[in-house]
Amino acid sequence: MTPRTDRETKILDVAADLLVRHGYRRVTIDDVAGAAGIGKGTVYLHWKTREELFGAVFAREISAAVADMVAALRADPAVALLHRFAAEFFLAILRRPLLYGMVIGDVQMWGKLVGSEVGYDGGRHNAVMASYMDVLAVRGLVRKDLAPPELTYAFQSVFEGFIYAEREVGSESTRDERARLLSTTVESAFSRPGIPDDALADEVAVLLSGLV
Amino acid sequence: MTPRTDRETKILDVAADLLVRHGYRRVTIDDVAGAAGIGKGTVYLHWKTREELFGAVFAREISAAVADMVAALRADPAVALLHRFAAEFFLAILRRPLLYGMVIGDVQMWGKLVGSEVGYDGGRHNAVMASYMDVLAVRGLVRKDLAPPELTYAFQSVFEGFIYAEREVGSESTRDERARLLSTTVESAFSRPGIPDDALADEVAVLLSGLV
DNA sequence: ACTTGACCAGATTTCAAATTTGGTCATACA
DNA sequence: TGTATGACCAAATTTGAAATCTGGTCAAGT
């Protein structure tokens, strides 16, 4: 059954490439099939609709970013701290052309797919974020004068603010510098001093894996 | 010369009302003239183009919000502190249907007018913000381990993040609560303890007046 | 058993005619 | 004499039908 999975991967690879180069609207199933060296019908053996195919590309892209986060977490448990997490995730998103394009080009690249429930569940994303915040709260690693739901809301606002800001960023700073700035901001806004242990990193990694 | 100004005000009032009700694209100069009870040509005695007229509406709306800020500053000098300023400005924007619509409906309400230079100069906005941050830095009212340009960038990212978040906010919190949350976030992220005096409030008020 | 591309209906694009609208200015009016 | 107006025009926008394209199916081929 491996060849089947291989083909699926190949199709997703090809689709991601076309998506990055031409944008959501301009890529047809025929294009994808042609570039993958197979017939159009074969694509439909894997996904029922065009939306599902591109949704799968999107989901895989997110999964890859999340996988990066898990890897970073394993390499350095301190990434479990909210401010480190923020910077790392910021970079993980901007590093991937498709996600970056989604942020910058917005509608251009993904059309109405973003926001729709195909391929990726935004609700689950929020749920995981909330759980993560709970974990941090229990360990006393975030400020205690705000409830976890408030912290989650504020954190996401800040995070998305920095992401959106990438749209009109000049050349006065590097992306790494902006990631550090986000980290510093989040740290003083929400974090409490504390040493992260491997158990915490594991717990967060498991949470994140729920998104893959 | 007062009747002329009165008529200008009337036209702007009527245009703002139509804009809020039908959106940028659907409002014609004839509509505006008709609703103001004057001929179309008369509108062109005040503004050279349609874009300039709506630009003036936009500018007046911003000016009103800024005037609110100046008033708040006079009433309570503590509003000069970055976190108080943030909450107050947040509310001043969301309180005005046209600006609120710009945030929420985005393209729907303002079309390509936003981002264009007509009626309002985004560059000046940034300059004023930078000056404001300099003033705070000189008085030691913001953290010292970040340079003012970094502080400005981070603050604007956070502020806009909270504004954007209004788009998909649920009913679990009130707008005032979200303003307080923004305030708290900004305070711990960027502020340093300090007592604001009337001189500071004046200075900031003067800066802001440069936007009117 | 698996793959394919011809095929079809519905969606999208084209393109020209019809309509609307921004902007002007000769005329009316105070 | 100075101000206001709406008929007027060119340009932009909308409409609508024909032409084209594309998502999705499935009978035929391997």
Considering only CA atoms, which of A120, A94, A97, A101 is closest in space to residue A25? A101
List the structure tokens of B152. 């400005």
Pick from A39-53, A108-122, A194-208, B187-201: least confident: A108-122
Q: Closest-CA residue in chain A for B157? A: A161
Q: In chain B, which residues touch A (CB < 8 A)?
A: 143, 145-146, 149-150, 153-154, 156-162, 164-165, 172-173, 178, 181-182, 184-186, 188-190
Please answer yes or no on whether B185 and A154 come within 8 Å at the CB atom: yes
Q: Measured between CA atoms, how close is B118 to chain A, in angstroms?
A: 19
Q: How many CB pairs under 8 A join A and B?
A: 80
Shared domain for A95 and A190, answered yes or no, is: yes
Q: Is A51 domain-assigned? A: no
pLDDT of residue B119: 62
Shared domain for A159 and A193, answered yes or no, is: yes
CA A43 from chain centre, in angstroms, equals: 25
Shared domain for A33 and A113, answered yes or no, is: no
Q: For residues B82 and B191, is the Cβ–Cβ distance under 8 A?
A: yes
For B181, the closest of A150, A160, A165 (CB atoms) is A150
pLDDT of residue B168: 84
For B158, the closest of A149, A161, A173 (CB atoms) is A161
> If you average pLDDT over every residue of chain A, what do you get?
91
Q: What is the percent of chain A where pLDDT is above 90?
A: 80
Shared domain for B6 and B105, answered yes or no, is: no
Q: Is the CB of A212 under 7 A from strand C?
A: no
List the structure tokens of A129. 């974020």
Measure the CA–CA gap between A79 and A81, rounded to whole angstroms. Answer: 5
pLDDT of residue A138: 97
pLDDT of residue A64: 95
Q: Is A151 domain-assigned? A: yes
Q: Phi/psi of residue B179, each to 5°?
A: -65, -40
Q: For residues A62 and A120, is the Cβ–Cβ distance under 8 A?
A: yes
List the structure tokens of A41. 């019908």
List the beta bridge partners of residue A142.
A191
Shared domain for B27 and B81, answered yes or no, is: no
Nucleotides of D under 7 A from a protein CB: 4-7, 14, 21-27
Measure the CA–CA gap between B59 and B67, rounded to whole angstroms. Answer: 12
pLDDT of residue A112: 57
Please answer yes or no on whether A158 and B160 come within 8 Å at the CB atom: no
pLDDT of residue A15: 97
Shared domain for A122 and A23, answered yes or no, is: no
Report the domain count for chain B: 2
List the structure tokens of A104. 């910058």
- Nearest protein residue to D4's C1' (by CA)? B42
- Number of other CB atoms surrounding residue B108 within 10 Å: 12
Q: Which residues of A164-196 are buried (b: 16+ CB within 10 A; e: fewer)?
A: bbbeeeeeeeeeeebbbbbbbbbbbbbbeeeeb
Distances (CA, A) of A31 to A157, B81, B103: 38, 56, 37
- Number of other CB atoms surrounding residue A2 within 10 Å: 6
Q: Is the CB of B42 under 7 A from strand C?
A: no
DSSP state of B26: G
Shared domain for B139 and B68, answered yes or no, is: yes
Q: For residues B22 and B30, is the Cβ–Cβ distance under 8 A?
A: no
Q: Is B171 domain-assigned? A: yes
Per-residue CB contacts under 7 A with strand C, chain A residues 63-122:
none
Per-residue CB contacts under 7 A with strand D, chain B residues 23-62:
25, 38-42, 44-45
For residue A31, the enclosing domain spans 1-46
pLDDT per position as a tens digit, A141-168: 999 999 999 999 999 999 999 998 998 8
> B137 or A197: which carries more pLDDT confidence?
B137
Q: Is B53 domain-assigned? A: no
pLDDT of B114 above 90: no
pLDDT of residue A50: 95
Shared domain for B96 and B123, answered yes or no, is: yes
One-letter amino acid of A158: V
pLDDT of residue B105: 67
pLDDT of residue B210: 85
For A185, the closest of B158, B162, B172 (CB atoms) is B158
For B185, the closest of A158, A164, A178 (CB atoms) is A158
pLDDT of residue A169: 85
Q: Measured between CA atoms, how close is B44 to chain A, in angstroms?
A: 35
Q: Is A129 domain-assigned? A: yes
How confident is residue A125, by pLDDT bands cut at 50, 70 and 90? confident
Q: What is the 3-state secondary structure (H, E, C) of B75-142?
A: HCHHHHCHHHHHHHHHHHHHCCHHHHHHHHCCHHHHHHHCCCCCCCCHHHHHHHHHHHHHHHHHCCCE
Q: What is the CATH number of the domain that holds A35?
A: 1.10.10.60
Shared domain for A34 and A96, answered yes or no, is: no
The alpha-helical segments, DSSP class H, found in A23-110 are: 29-36, 40-43, 50-75, 82-94, 97-104, 107-110
Shared domain for A110 and A78, answered yes or no, is: yes
Nucleotides of C under 7 A from a protein CB: 3-6, 13, 20-26
Euclidean distance between the first and final Cα of chain B, in Å? 21
Shared domain for B41 and B84, answered yes or no, is: no
Shared domain for B72 and B113, answered yes or no, is: yes
pLDDT of residue A189: 98
Q: Is A55 domain-assigned? A: no
Q: Is B52 domain-assigned? A: no
pLDDT of B120 above 80: no
One-letter amino acid of B61: E
